[in-house]
Amino acid sequence: MEKFDLNILGTGSALPTTRFNPTSQVVNFRDNLFMIDCGEGAQTQLRKMQLKFSRLSHIFLSHLHGDHCFGLMGLISTLGLLDRTGELVVHAHPDAEKVFRPLLDYFCAELPYKVIFNPIAPQKHELILEERSLRVYSIPLKHRVPTCGFLFEEKPRPRHIIREMTDFYQVPVRDMNRLKDGADFVREDGTVIPNDNLTRPAEPTRKYAYCSDTTYHKSIVPIIEGVDLLFHEATFLEKEKARAKQTMHSTALQAAKIAQAAQVKKLVIGHFSARYNDLNVLLEEAKTIFPETVLAEEAKCYPI
């Protein structure tokens, strides 16, 4: 099966600590890298995980809080030092270009490549990026500033040809692509050979959803329903529910409730508050509702 992995660069929340890096992730889809958020130190973590800078072409910023975007300028500068020539696309709130373009003009005036800002509307669920085998959608979240998550969805793959059957029915080569797309085969005498007799179903498509930062927000459930892997912030324990509501973050229990309602296959929780020395308390709380929960661990790869 083609590569589709989640690489965790940083799992911390707003307050810097020596234990956690600020939020950042990389989705590796068929050796093409897509970064989600870019907190300070993201480029150092890329090196530690031996992810190739040259494979990174798109960066998605969930919102413009510093712990999610202060690493962007350093990464852009480093890519210039590495003589990058291919364009880099930053998908973010329209204000992102207003914030970063003056800094680029001042610090990176002679970049050998283009930085393109693609404005997105965080309040909408819509298609942001479409490539040959992948689609990326926004997921409206509820935070103190306009914020969205991201849904990475593998496109359906073609059906598998059953060679002995196509040989038996003497299917011409010109019809093979139609069979892969699900069409029946019609012989010259008008006989219809059902597609199921000639092909096998393709492997199920895979989906990954990223939801950080957000208060408990049940409206996202239909968008993320059935995903193979869900990352959902779990900044606080349920006993700090009032603090979570005030700062518009989620508790571990609330993250688990979202995963349960959406019937996802696996939940990864992260964006941890610096107040917790033992993260297992967050994990155990989430697992009371959704047993298929794991902690986000920095420098770890999670297959999707």
Which residue numbers are catalytic?
67
Q: 4-157+203-303, superfamily in CATH? A: Ribonuclease Z/Hydroxyacylglutathione hydrolase-like (3.60.15.10)
- What is the rounded average pLDDT of the residues 254-266? 98
Report the C-alpha gap between 147 and 141 in whole angstroms.
6
Q: What pLDDT digit, counting tens, does each position of 192-248 carry? A: 998 999 899 888 899 999 999 999 999 999 999 999 999 999 999 999 999 999 999
Q: Is the pLDDT score of 86 beyond 90?
A: yes
What pLDDT score does 202 carry?
Answer: 86
What pLDDT score does 91 carry?
Answer: 98
What 3-state class would DSSP assign to 55?
Answer: helix
**Burial 230-259, CB ≥16 within 10 A → b, else e:** bbbbbbbbeebeeebeebbbbbbbbbbbbb
- What is the rounded average pLDDT of the residues 131-158? 96
Residue 190 confidence class, pLDDT cut points 50, 70, 90: confident
Contact call for residues 115 and 104 (beta carbons, < 8 A): yes
Q: What pLDDT digit, counting tens, does each position of 29-51 carry? A: 999 999 999 999 999 999 999 99
- What is the rounded average pLDDT of the residues 136-160? 96
Query: Can you give the residue ranges of every domain in the chain?
Result: 4-157+203-303, 160-200
> What is the gyration radius of the CA atoms in the chain, in angstroms?
22
- What is the rounded average pLDDT of the residues 183-190? 90
Torsion sign over Cα 276, 281, 285, 286: positive
Q: Is the pLDDT score of 55 beyond 80?
A: yes
Q: What pLDDT digit, counting tens, does each position of 269-280 carry? A: 999 999 999 999
